[in-house]
Amino acid sequence: MSPSTLENGKYCYIILFDQRDENGFIPSIIQEGILGHRPMTGQGDYSVPWYWGKTFGEAQKVCEEKNQRLGISPQRAIEIYNSTQSEVHRNRAKEKTCMGFYNLGN
């Protein structure tokens, strides 16, 4: 899945706390109503993952900027995120025990 094949307003980017390696945080794309996320790890033999920051804060800032360019507010990103999660994960988000992005409305 690439952003060019997605419907505007129906997808956004997220940063998850545990989606990182020694080079930094790897963003994911989520699509409204489709369970799960798609890490932006690159496609093909000569590609590498996308990195949006060494710290969660740096990566989250880039994520918010990218989403704003798409016309996606933090609240809309949370709505899209919630639509991609199972009931178990939605309940964890309410309890604030899940991974995170936008601090889930904090």
Distance CA 64, CA 26 (A): 14
The share of the chain scoring above pLDDT 70, in percent, equals 72
For the chain, give every domain's residue range.
Answer: 7-99
pLDDT at residue 84, as a whole number: 87
pLDDT tens, residue by residue, 86-105: 765 655 555 543 444 444 44
Q: Which is nearest to 52 in space by CA: 69, 43, 65?
A: 65
Q: What are the tens digits of pLDDT across the range 21-42? A: 899 999 999 888 888 888 888 7
30 or 9, which is more confident?
30
Give me the count of residues in the chain.
106
Provide the pLDDT for residue 46: 76
Which region, left, alpha or beta, applies to residue 59 given φ > 0 means left and ψ of -120 to 50 means alpha? alpha
Give the per-residue pLDDT at 42. Answer: 79
Q: How confident is the prediction for the chain on average, in pLDDT?
A: 78
What is the per-residue pLDDT for 102?
46
